[in-house]
Amino acid sequence: MPSGQTHDRITLWSLPVVAGIAFGQTQSGNITLILSGAYLFSGLMFGPDLDLYSRQYQRWGYARWIWIPYQKTVKHRSILSHGFAIGTILRLIYLAIWLSILGLFFLGIAQFVWNVGWHWQTWWETVKRSLTHHTTEWIALCLGLELGAMSHVISDWSHSTYKRQQKQKNRNLPPQRGKIVRKKETGDRRELREPRELRKLREQRKSRKS
Ligand SMILES: [Zn+2]
pLDDT tens digits for range 80-130: 999 999 999 999 999 999 999 999 999 889 888 888 777 888 888 999 999
How far, in Å, is the centroid of ligand 1 from the Cα of 49? 5
CA angle in degrees (0–180, nearest 5) for 32-37-41: 155
How far, in Å, is the centroid of ligand 1 from the Cα of 11? 13
Closest CA to 141 of 100, 92, 84, 94: 92
In sequence order, the 6+-apart residues with CB closer than 8 A to the CB of 100 are none
| Average pLDDT of every residue of the chain | 87
How far, in Å, is the centroid of ligand 1 from the Cα of 66? 19
Q: How far from the centroid of its chain's Cα atoms is residue 66's Cα?
A: 19
Closest CA to 99 of 133, 123, 78, 71: 123
Please tell me the predicted confidence (pLDDT) of residue 86: 95
How far, in Å, is the centroid of ligand 1 from the Cα of 150? 10
How far, in Å, is the centroid of ligand 1 from the Cα of 141? 21
Please tell me the predicted confidence (pLDDT) of residue 1: 67
| In the chain, domain spans | 4-164
How far, in Å, is the centroid of ligand 1 from the Cα of 156? 6
How far, in Å, is the centroid of ligand 1 from the Cα of 153? 6
How far, in Å, is the centroid of ligand 1 from the Cα of 19? 23
The pTM is what?
A: 0.75
Q: What is the pLDDT of residues 8-39, one digit of tens each?
A: 999 999 999 999 999 999 999 999 999 999 99
Please tell me the predicted confidence (pLDDT) of residue 201: 78
Contacts 24+ apart (CB under 8 A), 120-124: none
In sequence order, the 6+-apart residues with CB closer than 8 A to the CB of 54 are 4
What is the rounded distance in angstroms from the CA atom of residue 40 to the CA atom of residue 60?
14
In this structure, are residues 88 and 150 in contact, taking their beta carbons and an 8 Å threshold? no
Q: What is the pLDDT of residues 153-199, one digit of tens each?
A: 999 999 889 989 998 888 887 766 655 555 555 444 444 455 677 77
Helix intervals (H) in 74-134? 79-82, 86-114, 120-133
